[in-house]
Amino acid sequence: MPKQVPLVDYLLLGDDPHLEAWECENCAARFFDRRNACASCEGETFQRIRVANEGIVRAFTIVSLAAPGIPVPFVAAVIDCDGTSVRANVVNIEPTPDQVSTGMKVRLTTFPIGTDDDGVEGIGFGFEPVG
């Protein structure tokens, strides 16, 4: 089994893959990037907090034109994970307007995106339809 690294640092791998956000300890605003301070309340302290693995699609598009190297078409979406919005692709679904809809239930899934020269496997994530 080669060593694995996540596509982004807020994706936690292992037996129970999930996303983690920075939550402001003062106002509970959540962010996925490295923080300097809170954009909502100017708070300076944050805690790591687990984001729900299931959510609903609040907005989506089916992208047919993308940067070189990105397979198209794919479904890009905003997933509402129990109050925390997540940007992700919707995967394991036919990328057609009759298959994807806002309001549909989805859950987190992970998959390999490639292997580097050192044999390290990159792991990405997406959300797949539930049921």
Partner 1 sequence: MAEDVWILGIHMTQFGKHPDKDAVDLASEAARRALSDAGVKMKDMGILAAGNLMNASAGIGQQLQKQIGQTGIPVYNVANACATGATALRTAVMAVKAGECDFGLAVGVEKLAGAGLLGAGGGSRSQGTHYEPSGRYGAIANTDGRVGTATMPGTFAQIGMEYGHKYGGTSFELFARISEKNHAHSTLNPLATYTKKMSLEEIMSDVMIAYPNTRPMCSANCDGAAAAVVVGDSKLKTLSLEQRRRAVKIGASVLTSDPWEEACQILPNVNTLTRNAAQQAYEMAGVGPEDLDLVELHDCFATAELVHYDNLMLCEEGGAVDFFDSGAPWRDGRIPVNVSGGLESKGHPIAATGIANVWEICHHLRGEAGDRQIEGAKVGLAHVIGLGSACGVHILEKSAA
Footprint of partner 1 (CB under 8 A):
5-10, 29-34, 39-40, 58-74, 76-78, 83-89, 97, 102-103, 113-114, 116-118, 120, 122, 124-125
* C-alpha gyration radius of the chain: 16
Give least dist CB 68 to partner 1, A. Answer: 5
Q: Which is nearer to partner 1, 1 or 65 (CB)?
A: 65
Q: Which is nearer to partner 1, 85 or 109 (CB)?
A: 85
- Nearest to residue 49, comparing CAs of 75, 30, 67, 73? 30
The answer to whether the beta carbons of residues 37 and 45 sit under 8 Å apart is no
Q: Which is nearer to partner 1, 33 or 47 (CB)?
A: 33
Give least dist CB 69 to partner 1, A. Answer: 4
Tokens standing for 65?
Answer: 């034109």
Give least dist CB 15 to partner 1, A. Answer: 21
Looking at beta carbons, which pairs linking 37-46 to residues 24 or more positions away fall under 8 Å? 46/22
Q: Which is nearer to partner 1, 1 or 67 (CB)?
A: 67
CA 98, CA 116: separation in Å to the nearest integer? 37
Give least dist CB 45 to partner 1, A. Answer: 17
Strands (E), 45-95: 46-51, 54-63, 74-81, 84-90
